Amino acid sequence: MGALMDRAPKMTKLGFLKSIRKLFPEMPRHVFRELVLPQVESYYLPVCHNKAWSLEVRSVTIDSFVDDVQRRMREREFGNKNPYDVQNDSERMEWQRKHCKPGANEPVVAIETPDGRLDLLEGWHRTMALLTIRTPQDPVDVRMWIGKPRCD
């Protein structure tokens, strides 16, 4: 928890930790400290903290995403395979393919990297469904929350 304290002012850190702790009310405190806090500290805080967030509709292709996202989408054959054992994967993909509309979808969440590509955090089914309306190389409008590095 020491690194977390170094990254945020005391009041912000306490409010943040209390908010996260509320998500796990039944979890023993020691399990929360050992299991949840390291994930927040090592991944979510550095990735999502100090970003300027904006809701945008972006025209994207498979190449708009970072290499790891592209690799995972291809391994999943854009929702036709489930090598990661995602729960209810085929049903979720089927629903998204029927209901997801370019530019009008429920927003996905992504971080823009310094090279301008996107690291997809949430909304994999929606994004894969939209990318396969045509081919993954053809641009499609995707509504998304994008976190960009702050310039302050």
Q: What confidence tens digit (pLDDT) does each residue in 132-146 have? A: 999 999 999 999 999
Q: What are the beta bridge partners of residue 41?
A: none
Average pLDDT over residues 87-116: 94
Tell me which of 95 and 25 has the higher pLDDT.
95
Rounded to two decimals, the pTM is 0.73
pLDDT over 80 at 91, yes or no:
yes
Length of the chain counted residue by residue: 152
Report the C-alpha gap between 116 and 70 in whole angstroms: 15
pLDDT in tens, 40-50: 777 666 667 67
Name the token pair of 135. 């081919």
CA dihedral 142, 118, 79, 81 (to 10 degrees): 180
CATH no. of 51-149: 3.90.1530
Q: How confident is the model at residue 109 (pLDDT cuts 50, 70, 90)?
A: very high
State residue 9's pLDDT score. 47
Domain ranges of the chain: 2-48, 51-149
